[in-house]
Structure formats: structure tokens, C-alpha cells
Amino acid sequence: MGFFNKFFSKEKKETLDNGLDKTRQGMFSKLKHAIAGKSKIDDDVLDELEEVFVTSDVGVETTLKIIDRIQQRVARDHYVGTSELNDLLCDEITKLLADNNNADMEDFTVPADKKPYVIMVVGVNGVGKTTTIGKLAYQFKKAGNRVVLGAADTFRAAADEQLEIWGQRVGVPVIHHDHYEDEEKKDPNKHPDPAAVAYKAVAKAKEENADVVIVDTAGRLHNNVNLMNQLTKMKNVMKKVLPEAPHEILLVIDGSTGQNAFEQAKQFVAATEVNALAVTKLDGTAKGGVVIGISDQFQIPVKYIGLGEGIEDLQIFRKNEFVKSLFGKKD
């Protein structure tokens, strides 16, 4: 862990271990069964491993990559005992995540030369998108950043009120349509323009010299073309304020949905330039292997993981600590 000791506290490790408990238990029981009665890593063990990872929602393509890596290591380094299997798997999966641009972040920091740093958050309804935004705002502020939130989910009833509650709880301003529209002229049958909200949120952040602006978006069904087109419009209007905005398009995925999360990611990646992932609700599922598979298949780094309902339970994704926790390894 070394350099990251000051960022990855004992409390954070306990949260990570507790959050991955169901996944770890499921994987451990499968691995134990896979090597039962075996003394060396042979083709039978590799076949069993393949089934373990596929049934743990790692995904077929990523599983085959892991098996191939194990075969190469066994041949090269003469790992023949099943007793070394955990260490071998931890090592190779960590390297696989590193190959997918999963660079460990120090903390909830933003690039000093990109101010305000604009994050547009996307995802389907029910994945914990707005909650993730609130927790991100809390963590960014806690790290010393000035944060502005944009309530551009103008489709879901009470979405802006939910974000406003988070803003009050965290102590950061929330920009939403009520701040800028004449209420008497509003048509109750029409949704306010989310692109206008996004524009004003970025403009406000720039005006106030904020460090981070996080823009919420409607919980789009990944097969709704019209709503996906709205994402493009939102990006274009933000660029009028800040040509390089948004710097980050963060896709929030519910880790408990397993293989459905892959389909969501596929549709969003096809629709917009997703360059970061947040995987939520890992504490309530045995499907935590989806973190490895999605990052690998889409070559998009996982930046954040949700490990519980508490405001502190959103963590930076640290590949080394994640994999060690997944396999029950101690420091």
C-alpha cells in the first residue's frame, strides 16, 4: 500500500472488506470447491476457475483473459501448487486492471489546470446516481474543493428536490431550473430544458471560481434515443461556457444487477463518451466481480465504488486494495 497509507485508513479498509463480504464469500466457496482434492494447477483446475469467474459476473471475455494469464504464469514461473493460487490470481487481476487504465487516485482531487472540473453523471433510474452525486460532493468538499451541483434531471419527479436536500446536507450550492425561470410562464405539461440547467451550473461554477461542478442528468433508459440525444445537447451547451467541458462523463452502474450492468454500459458507451465508472451497491450483492469485467471489456477506469448507504461509504477505487479484499488477503 505504501504511499497510499495516509489515504487508505483502517476505517476505509473495514468498509471495503464489509462491502465486498458477500462477493468474497461466494467466490471463496467456489474456489475452495474448484481446488478440492487438487495439489497442482492443471487443466481441470483451470476449467473450474473459468466457471468460478463466469458465475461471479466477471464476464466470459475477461474470464478467458484471466485464465490465459494464469496459464502463462504457471508455464513461466512453475506455479504448480494450488496453495499459491490466491496470490497468483490477485497478482494477475491487479495487472489486468492496471492495463485498463485503472490508476490509483490519491484522494478526491481534481486537476489543478482544469477549473472548474466538470463532471456529467449519467445512468439509468435506480442505480443510485443522485445519491452518488451527493456523496461525491461531500468527499470533494471534505478534500478542500469548492463544489457546485447542477440539477439537470428535469424529467424525474422531485429529482431536483432530492439533489437540493443533498446540497443542504453537504453545504454546497445547487443550481436548478427554479432559479432561472419565471414560474408564471412555466408550462406544467413541459419539462424544463436540462441543457439550460447544465449551462447555468457551469457558468455559476466558473463565476464563483469553484473547483468542481457535478451535473446530474435524467435517469435515462439506455434504449431511449431521444433522451440520449439530450446528452449531446447538454455537452454542447456546456462547451459554450468552458470549451473543454465536460472533462468527465461518469457512468453510474448498479453492481447488484450483474450481467445487466454490462448491457447498460454497452449502450451508454455507444451513446456518449463515457470515460469513468462508478459501481454502486456492492455491499448488497455477491456480484462484485462485475467491477473487473466492465472495466476490462470497455477499457474504462472504475473511479468510485459504493459500499454502503453511509455518506462515507463511497470510496475511490484502488485496484490493489480491492483485489486484496476480494480474495481476503491481509496486509
Tens of pLDDT, residues 31-40: 888 787 777 8
Instruction: Provide the domain limits for residue 136.
Output: 117-318
As annotated, the binding site for GTP includes: 123-130, 216-220, 280-283
Q: Do 76 and 123 reside in the same domain of the chain?
A: no
Distance CA 28, CA 45 (A): 14
* 3-class secondary structure, 280: strand
| 314 part of a folded domain | yes
Angle between helix 60-77 and helix 85-99 axes, rounded to 10 deg = 120
Nearest to 236 by CA among 270, 208, 194: 194
- Structure confidence at residue 258 (pLDDT): 86
Q: Do 52 and 165 reside in the same domain of the chain?
A: no
| 150 part of a folded domain | yes
Domain of 35, CATH number, reads 1.20.120.140
Tell me phi and psi for residue 302, to 5 degrees. Answer: -80, 125
| 323 part of a folded domain | no
Condensed to tens digits (0 to 9), the pLDDT of residues 78-122 reads: 766 777 888 889 999 999 998 876 666 778 888 889 999 999 999
How many CB atoms sit inside 10 A of residue 13's CB?
17
Burial 49-76 (b: 16+ CB within 10 A, else e): bbebbbebbbbeebbebbbebbeebbee
End-to-end CA distance of the chain: 8
> Would you state the torsion angle of the CA atoms of residues 90, 93, 97, 98, taken in this order, to the nearest 10 degrees?
70
| 137 part of a folded domain | yes
Q: Do 75 and 206 reside in the same domain of the chain?
A: no
What letter represents residue 217's amino acid?
T
What letter represents residue 207's amino acid?
E
Torsion sign over Cα 294, 296, 301, 304: positive
Distance CA 225, CA 248 (A): 21
| 208 part of a folded domain | yes
Nearest to 103 by CA among 217, 13, 3, 199: 3
What letter represents residue 231's amino acid?
L
Q: Into how many domains does the chain fold?
A: 2
Q: Do 208 and 296 reside in the same domain of the chain?
A: yes
Q: Do 267 and 194 reside in the same domain of the chain?
A: yes
Place of cell 463515457: 274
Contact between 293 and 58 under an 8 Å Cβ cutoff? The reply is: yes
Distance CA 121, CA 245 (A): 13
Angle between helix 10-19 and helix 21-34 axes, rounded to 10 deg = 60
Q: What is the mean pLDDT, run by run of 10 residues, along the chain of 331 residues?
A: 55 90 85 79 89 91 94 80 82 89 76 94 90 96 96 84 94 79 50 89 96 90 68 93 96 91 86 92 89 92 93 92 86 63
Q: Do 278 and 204 reside in the same domain of the chain?
A: yes
As annotated, the binding site includes: 123-130, 216-220, 280-283
